[in-house]
Amino acid sequence: FLQRMPAKTGLFLGLTGARFNGRDAALLNLADYSLPQQQYADLLERLRTTAWQTDAPANHVLLSQTLKHFDAPDSLPESQIMPHWQTIHGLINSGNLNQVATTLTNTHWHDDWLQQAADTFAQGSPTSAALTWTLFERLAHASLAQCLYTELIVSLNCCALPDFREGVRALLVDKDKQPQWCRRLEQIDDDWLTRHFRSPFPAQQHPFQHWPEQAALPQT
C-alpha cells in the first residue's frame, strides 16, 4: 500500500514512521470517505435499510453512494503532509538510502513534524530502513499475493536475526531505549540484505506456494 501513495510519500513514511491524520489518508489514497463519529450509527442504519442487489457491481455503486452521502471532508484536520510535500519529494529523490539518511539526520529541521520523523529514523534499526528501501524497489510492480509471499519470508528472517530481539529488549523489556543495532547503515551490503530474502521454508512448502501469482517472483 505504500507504493500507492503519490510522489514516494509512502517510502518516506515507511522509513521514518511519521504520523499522519485523516485528511492525509484521503490525500495518500488510503481512504475514500470520512465520517464524523456522531454519524456512525446513522451510517449503519442506512446500510441496513439499503436495497442491496444480487450483483457486486450494483452493490458497489450503492455502497459508494451511501458513503458519499455521509462524507464530510471539511471536518477533517489540516493535512500534516501537504505543507512538507516538496521537502519529502526532494529528500526521497535525492539519491540512494545513504544520501537520504545523511540529509535526514544531519539537517536541523525547523519544523516539529519533520524533526520527529528524522529522530525516529535515526533511532530505528538501519537494517529495517534498508529493507524498507529494498522492498519498495523490488515490489514496485508486484501483486498483493507477491507482496505477502515476499514479506512473510522477510518477516521471519527478521525475527531470527538480532535486531528484532534487540528492539524488543530496548523498548519493552529493559526499556532503556538504547538499542545496540547489529549493523550501521554503511555496513549493510547486498549479502546481508539477500539473507533476509532467503526462504526459511523447505522447497515447495511456503504457505502461499499454491498462489499462482507468486510464480513471477525471483526465487531467493
For 113, left (φ over 0), alpha (ψ -120 to 50), or beta? alpha
For residue 212, the model assigns a pLDDT of 67
Say how many CA atoms lie within 13 Å of 73 toward its Cβ: 10
Q: How far is CA 160 from CA 39, 78, 182, in A?
A: 46, 41, 13
Q: Give the Cα separation of 157 and 196 in Å (integer).
A: 5
What pLDDT shows up at residue 215? 53
- Which pLDDT score is estimated for 52? 95
Do 90 and 2 contact (CB within 8 A), yes or no? no
Question: Distance between CA atoms of 204 and 191, rounded to whole angstroms?
Answer: 24
pTM of the model: 0.87
Burial label, 148 (beta-carbon count in 10 A; 0-12, 13-18, 19+): middle
Identify whether the C-beta of residue 158 lies closer than 8 Å to the C-beta of residue 200: no
Q: What is the mean pLDDT of each run of 10 residues along the chain (220 residues)?
A: 90 96 93 93 96 94 95 93 95 94 95 96 97 95 89 96 96 96 96 96 87 58
Q: What angle do CA 5, 1, 48 make, to 5 degrees?
A: 105
Q: For position 213, what pLDDT does the model report?
A: 65
Is residue 108 packed enough to be buried (19+ CB in 10 Å), middle (13-18) or exposed (0-12)? exposed
E-strand ranges in the chain read: none
120-136 burial by CB neighbour count: b if 16+ within 10 A, else e?
ebeebbbbbbbbbbbbb
CA 83/CA 175 separation, integer angstroms: 34
Contact, 167 vs 126, CB < 8 A?
Answer: no
